[in-house]
């Protein structure tokens, strides 16, 4: 049967969103190597040329998918932190942040891998900015704790990076099968508790 894809009408409306949704579904099932504009056009039901109205090439598609992922992650982290009623409860807010990240990263393992690989790609400015906006929230939390005297140091970004590296390691171990899902919540709680213990100011004797 001849391929009639090229004769399909241009899909108006939310084509860019539809393509990103289709890309994420394909990423989840087949991995990043199986992502192509041609396959996405077929999935969405548009001509092979239509996706190039939004993505110049495959690299642009991957960058856009990573940027979208960071925007979603940022929104999830913000909602988790803002969900803590006591805005002065730093431990609870850090726990909420860490748990929200771990949930996202384990539920979207392939997407998270793509996000982390694209944010350092030369020229991926929008991806880097979206990543900075998402993770900048932890620096804000650390800075608030420092201003109240709950945490020591004067480098909130660097201190926050320590906690991020810890939860990133936990999720990587889970996604690779090194630890069981049942241990996840306990490990995240311990990570935040140990982080706070090490970051608190030394009490005078």
Whole-number percent of the chain with pLDDT over 90: 69
Q: Which of 66-80, 85-99, 144-158 is predicted with the least confidence, judged by mean pLDDT?
A: 144-158
Sequence-ordered alpha helix ranges (H) in the chain: 15-30, 37-44, 58-82, 90-107, 109-118, 125-147, 156-175, 184-199
pLDDT tens, residue by residue, 98-122: 999 999 999 999 999 999 998 888 8
| Between 110 and 11, residue with greater pLDDT | 110
What is the rounded average pLDDT for all residues in the chain? Answer: 88
pLDDT tens, residue by residue, 82-103: 999 999 999 999 999 999 999 9
Burial of 76 (0-12, 13-18, 19+ CB in 10 A): middle
Mean per-residue pLDDT for 151-164? 90
pLDDT of residue 13: 67
pLDDT at 161 over 80: yes
Quickly count: other Cβ atoms within 10 Å of residue 198's Cβ: 11
């Amino acid at each position: 049967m001849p391929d009639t894809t090229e004769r399909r009408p241009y899909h108006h409306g939310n084509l860019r969103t539809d393509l990103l949704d289709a890309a994420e579904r394909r990423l989840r099932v087949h991995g990043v190597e199986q992502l192509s504009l041609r396959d996405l056009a077929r999935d969405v039901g548009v001509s092979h040329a239509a996706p190039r109205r939004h993505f110049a090439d495959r690299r642009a598609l991957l960058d856009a998918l990573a940027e979208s992922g960071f925007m979603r992650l940022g929104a999830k982290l913000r909602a988790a932190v803002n969900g803590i009623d006591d805005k002065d409860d730093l431990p609870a807010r850090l726990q909420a942040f860490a748990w929200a990240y771990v949930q996202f990263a384990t539920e979207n393992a392939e997407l998270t891998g793509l996000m982390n690989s694209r944010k350092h790609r030369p020229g991926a400015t929008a991806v880097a900015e979206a990543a900075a906006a998402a993770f900048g929230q932890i620096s804000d939390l650390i800075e608030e704790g420092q201003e109240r005297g709950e945490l020591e140091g004067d480098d909130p970004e660097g201190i926050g990076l320590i906690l991020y590296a810890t939860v990133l390691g936990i999720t990587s171990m889970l996604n690779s099968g090194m630890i069981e899902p049942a241990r996840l919540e306990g490990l995240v709680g311990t990570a935040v508790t140990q982080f706070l213990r090490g970051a608190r100011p030394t009490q005078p004797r």
